């Protein structure tokens, strides 16, 4: 076993597994051992699937030995957010209301990971309903960089497991930032695909018109490998896109020379910790040094107003998604998400319609921002990981939570534009900083290409929080 096997990337491990130099059983047992050592404290896993993981690993080794190699995920241990239905395994969505929910089928993304030969280690903790706070009966993941610090929302378990070496890749979901927030707080790569690029069939809804599913990994190439496996049209999800899926890592080494990268300096620095703004400015310089052309752009002028629509849309759609259990079982929800559903149920049709109009206007303005550029550069989140108490995270919703905090995330959920988040340093408290690139619809291949180029020019993605 090589040293620090737990921090290897999928790209590094796949050839060794393919060539029989490293077995899936070895990898899986190594991961289960590390989970046993660390996750009692980190609490990233809601349900560990150790027995079935061992069975999958043995089957993968047998298939590979017989010459039936499925691809770079074959035999690689991964995990998924616990809102992805998994046949015969409880899927709670972060809520005590669904503590006994055992699906009789797999979500499409789980089926596709299984078809790729991946080894499923388990289901990962998240905020209740994939919103901002946790259910008091369930665990809160600890940020591996600093105890009692924010680990992002809502795919916090996915960010923690990936950053701490407890899975080689994970799935998260993003409705207002929930792939990018944990990627930023935990120092991982995160890809939010184009809306509809990945099927949502069998994934518990927060807000259907905003929800995305995507990977968190330790390199851009690894995100491409996982996205390749889960992307594509699904007849069970009528909102999934029929477009063909390119080789996500097919242009990995092309670089960024000649690419036009948009940058709004005010947007990337206003109301921000100086270290975030400085790290983004330096990252843009890195891309310029690699041959990209930096183009001055302006984000939507009414962005603050547009963002006020996000809570109305999200909470209203969440109330619809939970209609079978809320308000009938309201007392079983935690105070944070109960407040969110109550708010959503109170909105009038006129309020919802006005919010949709504001969303459409934001999408139109953002379309103009993206004209003439290939990518937009900005922070992944409005903050770095910060000290927080469990009492705050359990709710009720704090008054300090305002829509402006989602200015780097919600517009891309509104529009369905794909994004990649990349580690771009550590601040003076030794917690991660994160860069985001935003692309045009269906440009995930280019985002992964740009992310890889940034990683080749820096070493931030190789920083880890624990031995």
Q: Which sequence positions are flagged as catalytic?
A: 81, 154, 178
170-174/77-81 β-pairing:
parallel
Coil/strand/helix, residue 326: coil
Of the candidates 455, 464, 44, 462, which has an alpha carbon nearest to the alpha carbon of residue 253?
Answer: 455
Tell me how far apart the alpha carbons of residues 374 and 438 are, in angstroms, rounded to a whole number: 9
> In whole angstroms, what is the distance from residue 369 CA to residue 16 CA?
44
Measured in whole angstroms, how far is the alpha carbon of residue 81 from the centre of its chain?
A: 9
Q: Are 23 and 5 in contact (CB under 8 A)?
A: no
How many Å is the Cα radius of gyration of the chain?
A: 21
Contact (CB, 8 A) for 139 and 127: no
Confirm if 268 and 378 have CB atoms less than 8 A apart.
yes
Runs of H (alpha helix) within 347-425: 349-369, 390-394, 410-415
Please tell me the total number of residues recorded for the chain in this structure: 467
Cα separation values, 183 from 97, 335, 357, Å? 27, 26, 30
Tell me if residue 155 falls in helix, strand or coil.
coil
């Amino acid at each position: 076993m090589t040293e620090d096997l737990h921090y290897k990337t999928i790209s590094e491990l796949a050839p060794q597994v393919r060539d029989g130099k490293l077995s899936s059983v070895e990898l899986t047992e190594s991961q289960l051992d590390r989970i046993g050592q660390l996750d009692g404290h980190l609490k990233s896993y809601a349900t560990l699937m150790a027995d079935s993981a061992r069975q999958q690993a043995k089957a993968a080794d047998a298939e590979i030995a017989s010459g039936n190699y499925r691809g770079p995920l074959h035999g690689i241990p991964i995990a998924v957010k616990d809102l992805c239905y998994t046949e015969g395994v409880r899927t709670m969505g972060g809520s005590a209301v669904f503590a006994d929910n055992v699906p009789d089928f797999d979500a499409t993304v789980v089926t596709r990971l299984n078809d790729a030969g991946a080894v499923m280690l388990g289901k990962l903790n998240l905020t209740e309903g994939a919103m901002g706070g946790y259910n008091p009966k369930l665990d809160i993941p600890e940020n591996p960089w600093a105890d009692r610090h924010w680990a992002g929302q809502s795919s916090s378990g996915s960010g923690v497991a990936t950053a701490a070496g407890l899975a080689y890749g994970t799935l998260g979901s993003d409705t207002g930032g929930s792939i990018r927030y944990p990627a930023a707080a935990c120092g991982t790569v995160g890809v939010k695909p184009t809306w509809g690029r990945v099927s949502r069939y069998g994934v518990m809804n927060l807000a259907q018109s905003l929800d995305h599913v995507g990977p968190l990994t330790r390199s851009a190439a690894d995100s491409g490998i996982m996205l390749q496996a889960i992307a594509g049209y699904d007849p069970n999800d009528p909102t999934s896109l029929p477009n063909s899926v390119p080789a996500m890592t097919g242009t990995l080494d092309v670089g960024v020379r000649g690419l036009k990268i948009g940058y709004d300096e005010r947007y990337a620095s206003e109301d921000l910790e100086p270290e975030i703004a400085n790290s983004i400015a330096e990252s843009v310089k890195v891309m310029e040094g690699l041959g990209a052309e930096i183009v001055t752009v302006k984000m939507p002028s009414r962005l603050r107003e547009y963002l006020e629509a996000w809570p109305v849309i999200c909470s209203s759609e969440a109330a619809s998604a939970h209609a079978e259990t809320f308000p009938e079982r309201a007392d079983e929800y935690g105070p944070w998400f109960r407040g969110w559903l109550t708010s959503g149920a109170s909105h009038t049709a006129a309020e919802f319609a006005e919010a949709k109009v504001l969303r459409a206007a934001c999408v139109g303005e953002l379309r103009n921002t993206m004209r003439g550029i290939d990518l937009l550069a900005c922070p992944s989140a409005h903050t770095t990981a910060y000290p927080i108490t469990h009492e705050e995270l359990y709710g009720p919703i704090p008054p300090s939570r305002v829509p402006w905090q989602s200015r780097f995330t919600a517009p891309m959920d509104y529009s369905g534009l794909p994004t990649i988040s990349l580690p771009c340093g550590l601040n003076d408290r030794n917690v991660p900083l994160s860069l985001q690139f935003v692309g045009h619809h269906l440009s995930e291949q280019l985002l992964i290409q740009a992310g890889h180029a940034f990683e080749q020019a820096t070493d931030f993605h190789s920083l880890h929080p624990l031995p």
